[in-house]
Chains A and B, each alone.
Chain A
Amino acid sequence: MSQTTLERPAPAAEPAHAARPKRRLGGGTLLFIYTWLVILWLIVPIFVMIAFSFNDTKGRYNQEWQGFTFKWYGKIFEIEDLTKALWTSLIIAVISSLLSGALGTGIGYALGRYRFRGSGTLNLIMFATISSPELIMGASLLSLFVSLALGLGAVTITIAHVMFSISFVATIVRARVVTLDRSIEEAAADLGASAWTTFWKVTFPIILPAVFSGVLLAFALSIDDFVVTNFTAGSVTTFPLWIWGSTRVGLPPQVNVMGTLIFAVGVLIAVITNIRSRSGKRG
């Protein structure tokens, strides 16, 4: 951060009596305060969730503040169904993000690299999956599974998650492939590399960061998904579904602990990948 401060032109360089910067500062300050108020508003529920993971609540209900404790972090896995639901969510997220990573990369690479018939239709379908309401996707998938008399469960959830993640992965990968410098691939071919070798030794390492962010996004979409999962789960319970089911009876502090940990890990990964991609661009 100190580096960025140094890069900025020193404010002293401008004459102190200049009227223009002052007027700009007036509107800017107001907007600055406003922006921070909005950010604060966005963070309030997160703060409440984290705070109540440290609440020394007596009963199963976690509604009123009763003092600070770490004990729920030690008892995180004490509610069996909840732990199971979290594991189910994690396993589905891993499988569906890897699968949609592979399938989405194929589409993204083809769309970025080649001109082919049907690419317009494919773009349209991808746009439709990204912009369709989750409710409609969930409802239509359930309609299909009902029509086929297919049993619902972890498999149908995974199928659904892969479906709505593919387009996101493909979009991210395509954006990277489009900016690819073709001359590098040509150089590899000139040096006698086969198309196969060129792809794995030259092209793939270049697009790997995009594939990686696509997989991460798919993982995040999957682990947080409620609506589509709600329709395709049958009797299987994922983490968001478990929370939904316990809303009426009140949430135990373990949910806050898990929510807090997922939040912390997510933010950490985002910050690390951001820093890495920045240093990658500079170096």
Chain B
Amino acid sequence: MDRVKRQLAPYFLVLPGGLWLLLFFAIPMIAMLSLSLQQGDIVNGYQFTFHWQNYTDAIDSYHTQLIRSLIYGAVATIFLIVLAFPVAYWIAFYGGKRKSTYLFLLLLPFFVSFVLRTISWRQILTDDGPVLKPLKEIGLLSDSYHILGTPAAVIGGLVYNFLPFMVLPIYVALERIDPRVVEAARDLYANPATAFRKVILPLALPGVFAGVLMSFVPVSSDYVNSEVLGSSSTTMIGQVIQAQYLVNSDYPTASALSFILMAVLLVGIFAYARALGTEDVMKVAAR
């Protein structure tokens, strides 16, 4: 009796939460798939008709925004790696006893609402705001110069909002490096640049991979930054999906677009994983 109880215990513990995830994470995906193949409109209702045309129509109408999102995502991710690596490196190797304090400082933005942070940037970068106005007054910039509404503003906002997602995994990877390994390389007459390239960089790569995974996906599907900091010429796919769902109630198109985005992101991740070697991916996934 007791043994049976012990064998069943994990299932009882897992059941409520697992059911919740099944009902509100897995099944919604199926609902979305079904919706993406339906035909009709909000007034007369929808019918399931295997309407694959939703997908081709969605690609025809919105491939510009989809490609733009992927480009913004890629550019932002490259900026994130370049910006985050030195920070993670310094904290891991020079942070000493204050490592956690520095990490905490990097996480401070998370204590302010995501939307509020982004709007704050809009306030800072506005045409006659605290940054542009003085520069215009001393004649460094022409009066018509603006940052808001440009791709630079959107990508800047994305990089700002997702920087900690890149710093943390790289930091974790660098922190694990045994300093003696680097010393050994130096003792074997590697100069600092070689030691960095041949020892530190390869060991940091899984962290960079995790960082890319954690930032590229949310960055390319974001719609807050492009809505708040962008213009009609920087519309990203997230904005289209949001508007189709919540403004136009065109659910079939919206759900087809969501699936296309998801598929593209998944294919991108796996292609990237293949290029880097699957072993690293499994290690990251297992964490």
- Cβ of B174 < 8 Å from any Cβ of A? no
B123 touches A137 (CB 8 A): no
Q: How far is the CA of A116 from the CA of B14 in the complex (A)?
A: 10
- Cβ of A68 < 8 Å from any Cβ of B? no
A255 touches B27 (CB 8 A): no
- Cβ of A87 < 8 Å from any Cβ of B? no
Which of under 10, 10 to 19, 20 to 34, or 35 or more describes the interface residues of B?
Answer: 35 or more
- Cβ of A162 < 8 Å from any Cβ of B? yes
Q: How far is the CA of A144 from the CA of B163 in the complex (A)?
A: 33
B112 touches A259 (CB 8 A): yes
Q: How far is the CA of A137 from the CA of B98 in the complex (A)?
A: 37
Q: Which of B17, B27, B83 contacts A166 (CB 8 A)?
A: B17
Give the contacts of A188-226 with B (CB-CB under 8 A). 195, 220, 224, 226
Chain B residues near A132 (CB, 8 Å)? 25, 217
Question: What is the total number of residues of chain A having a CB less than 8 Å from a CB of chain B?
Answer: 83
- Cβ of A178 < 8 Å from any Cβ of B? no
A263 touches B245 (CB 8 A): no
Stretch at the interface among A73-81, A121-129, A179-187: A121-129
Q: How far is the CA of A239 from the CA of B108 in the complex (A)?
A: 19
Which residue of chain B lies nearest to A44 when distances are taken between CB atoms in the complex?
A: B124
Chain B residues near A220 (CB, 8 Å)? 110
A147 touches B35 (CB 8 A): yes
B34 touches A107 (CB 8 A): no
A39 touches B120 (CB 8 A): no
Chain A at the B interface: mostly helix, strand, loop or mixed? helix
Give the contacts of B101-120 with A (CB-CB under 8 A). 102, 104-106, 108-117, 119-120
Task: Report A53 CB to chain B, min CB distance, Å.
Answer: 11
Q: Which of A46, A63, A110, A263 contacts B14 (CB 8 A)?
A: A110
B119 touches A247 (CB 8 A): yes
> Given contacts A7-B97, A128-B25, is CB(A259)–CB(B221) below 8 Å?
no
Task: Report A114 CB to chain B, min CB distance, Å.
Answer: 4
Q: How far is the CA of A116 from the CA of B28 in the complex (A)?
A: 26
B126 touches A143 (CB 8 A): no
B121 touches A267 (CB 8 A): no
Bits for A17-48, please: 1 = Cβ < 8 Å to B, else 0: 00000000001100110110011011111101
Give the contacts of B202-258 with A (CB-CB under 8 A). 213-214, 217-218, 221-224, 228, 238, 241-242, 245-246, 251, 254-255, 258
B29 touches A38 (CB 8 A): no
B124 touches A135 (CB 8 A): no
Task: Report A25 CB to chain B, min CB distance, Å.
Answer: 10
Q: How far is the CA of A42 from the CA of B160 in the complex (A)?
A: 7
A136 touches B111 (CB 8 A): no
- Cβ of B79 < 8 Å from any Cβ of A? no
Chain B residues near A160 (CB, 8 Å)? 24
> Given contacts A128-B25, A133-B265, is CB(A139)–CB(B163) below 8 Å?
no
Instruction: A119-B10, A143-B28 given; name 6 further pairs at CB < 8 Å.
Output: A31-B89, A48-B124, A106-B13, A135-B242, A135-B258, A274-B104
- Could you jot down 17 A-B contacts, CB within 8 Å? A8-B96, A32-B94, A106-B17, A109-B13, A111-B14, A129-B21, A131-B213, A133-B217, A135-B222, A140-B25, A143-B34, A143-B255, A162-B20, A163-B20, A163-B25, A166-B17, A167-B21
Q: Which 5 pairs between the two chains have the least Cβ-Cβ distance?
A: A103-B17, A45-B120, A140-B28, A31-B90, A133-B221
